[in-house]
């Protein structure tokens, strides 16, 4: 698992482009997001209008990590990391990823807010703090008030640390559940997330990812001023998210719960697959392309509910790695281009040899 994740970037056809662009996006996120937050908090609330520009690199990076997890779940160790293309989809996935983290941290924030409100009410309310301190001193001695305050603070810190540790372990599982189906509610489903987190393969992948992040950040930190460290930090996070996806694959690949929304509703009606427009359209595509339904499914590009983005040109076209030459269907097969292959979701026009005879 570790070897496959560590070498996934090497097996990517446009690995250099992924690392360079990913490092640049990470650097912009590290610079623009803190500046924007500082402007909103300390300069003027009017800086809120700059959120789309300031947060775009951060969301693109988060969305790409979701794509890395999805690719690892779908392909396992068979392929490298996906290309860093279709940025609009990456921004949408990144926004959903951020909302997922906010939802998981909301109970902690709510608990701290309630605790702070209780303390403020005790201090400013009808209870006299001096009388409480005097009661503690009479019961525990002169150091009683300090001991009570230390114990209360220790309990709060222990609860916060325990919650954050649970968050660090469960968030990648929730992110994998969301990435597998493209639906945010799957990442917030306690049964689905617990089913992923309870597997031994996920625990192994998570442990390896933590170790990879610790070692990678330790190496990248001294080189951060040289910008090389930023690209290395991005690459390490790609490896870690690949480990998350590979660890969660056994629990999520082919999970019936992930496709629950696609089943007919339990309303007593009979579902006719031949009347479904999407089924008819997919059947036409399969018939025209000569593929059977037993072939491997087309992997989803991003968080689109698990459906492949057929209108998206293949990554090889977007990054300029390959273009079809010669007659129609003579494209480079390794890039999956040409011949109207539905796997790429992109059909070339007729070749020059098939052009209308104007003589």
Per the CB < 8 A criterion, the answer to whether 340 and 217 are in contact is: no
> Distance between CA atoms of 106 and 342, rounded to whole angstroms?
42
Could you tell me if residue 216 is inside a domain? yes
DSSP-derived secondary structure for 158-214: HHHHHHHHHHHHHHHHHHHHHHHHS-HHHHT-HHHHHHHHTSHHHHHHHHHHHHHHH
Could you tell me if residue 170 is inside a domain? yes
Could you tell me if residue 310 is inside a domain? no
Could you tell me if residue 332 is inside a domain? no
**Tell me: the pLDDT tens digits for 261-301?**
444 443 444 444 444 444 444 445 444 444 444 444 444 44
Confidence at 98, pLDDT banded by 50, 70, 90: very high
Could you tell me if residue 306 is inside a domain? no
At residue 301, the pLDDT reads: 45
Could you tell me if residue 101 is inside a domain? yes
What average pLDDT does the segment 69-95 reach?
86
User: b/e string for 347-359 if b means 16 or more Cβ within 10 A?
Assistant: ebeeeeeeeeeee
Could you tell me if residue 293 is inside a domain? no
341/205: higher pLDDT: 205
**Tell me: the pLDDT tens digits for 220-243?**
988 888 888 899 999 999 999 999
Q: How many separate domains does the chain show?
A: 1
Could you tell me if residue 121 is inside a domain? yes
> Distance between CA atoms of 45 and 50, rounded to whole angstroms?
10
The boundaries of the domain holding residue 189 are 10-261
């Amino acid at each position: 698992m570790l070897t496959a994740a560590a070498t996934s970037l090497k097996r990517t056809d446009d690995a250099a482009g992924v690392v360079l662009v990913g490092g640049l996006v990470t650097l912009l996120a590290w610079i623009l997001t803190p500046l924007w937050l500082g402007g909103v908090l300390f300069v003027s609330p009017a800086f809120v209008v700059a959120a789309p520009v300031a947060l775009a690199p951060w969301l693109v990076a988060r969305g790409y990590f979701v794509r890395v997890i999805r690719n690892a779940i779908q392909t396992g160790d068979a392929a490298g990391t996906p290309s860093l293309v279709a940025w609009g989809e990456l921004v949408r996935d990144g926004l959903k990823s951020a909302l997922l983290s906010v939802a998981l941290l909301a109970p902690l924030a709510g608990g701290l807010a309630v605790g702070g409100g209780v303390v403020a009410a005790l201090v400013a309310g009808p209870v006299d703090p001096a009388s409480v301190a005097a009661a503690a001193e009479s019961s525990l001695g002169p150091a009683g008030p300090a001991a009570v305050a230390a114990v209360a603070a220790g309990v709060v810190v222990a609860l916060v640390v325990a919650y954050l540790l649970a968050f660090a372990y469960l968030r990648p599982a929730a992110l994998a559940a969301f990435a597998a189906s493209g639906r945010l509610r799957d990442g917030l489903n306690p049964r689905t997330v617990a089913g992923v987190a309870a597997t031994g393969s996920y625990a192994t992948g998570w442990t390896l990812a933590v170790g990879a992040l610790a070692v990678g950040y330790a190496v990248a930190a001294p080189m951060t001023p040289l910008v090389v460290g930023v690209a290395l930090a991005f690459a390490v996070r790609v490896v870690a998210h690949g480990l998350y996806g590979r660890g969660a694959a056994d629990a999520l690949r082919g999970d019936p719960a992930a496709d629950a929304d696609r089943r007919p509703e339990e309303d007593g009606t009979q579902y006719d697959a031949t009347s479904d427009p999407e089924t008819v359209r997919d059947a036409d595509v399969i018939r025209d392309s000569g593929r059977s339904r037993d072939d491997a499914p087309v992997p989803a590009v991003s968080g689109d509910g698990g459906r492949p983005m057929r209108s998206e040109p293949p990554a090889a076209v977007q990054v300029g790695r390959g273009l079809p030459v010669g007659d129609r269907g003579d494209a480079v097969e390794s890039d999956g281009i040409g011949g109207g292959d539905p796997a790429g979701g992109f059909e070339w026009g007729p070749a020059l040899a098939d052009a209308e005879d104007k003589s």
